[in-house]
């Protein structure tokens, strides 16, 4: 479940806490999000955060 998100985080050399922070939630909330199927809006926000962090070179 949500394997694409996990792979995108890994491919971008990021940590889950970094993406969580960019999404405005705690790491634990983010981890709970990844347990279940996400809404399209939330998925898009996460992928946008990953892309933004990648561009910043975090």
Q: What is the pTM of this model?
A: 0.89
Q: How many CA atoms lie within 13 A of 3 on its CB side?
A: 1
Domain count, the chain: 1
How much is the average pLDDT of 13-22?
A: 97
Domain limits for position 17:
3-56
What is the torsion angle, in degrees rounded to the nearest 10, for the CA atoms of residue 19, residue 23, residue 26 and residue 31?
Answer: -60
Question: Looking at the predicted structure, is the pLDDT value of residue 1 above 90?
Answer: no
How much is the average pLDDT of 3-17?
A: 96
Burial class of 20 by CB neighbour count within 10 A (0 to 12, 13 to 18, 19+) = buried
Q: What percent of the chain has pLDDT over 90?
A: 91
Model confidence band, residue 22 (pLDDT cutoffs 50, 70, 90): very high
Cα 10 from Cα 21, distance rounded (Å): 16
Q: Which residue reads 């898009």 in tokens? A: 44
């Amino acid at each position: 479940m949500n394997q694409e998100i996990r792979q995108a985080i890994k491919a971008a050399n990021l940590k889950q806490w970094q993406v969580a922070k960019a999404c405005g939630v705690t790491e634990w909330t983010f981890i709970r999000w990844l347990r279940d199927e996400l809404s399209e809006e939330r998925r898009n926000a996460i992928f946008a955060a990953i892309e933004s962090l990648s561009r910043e070179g975090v």
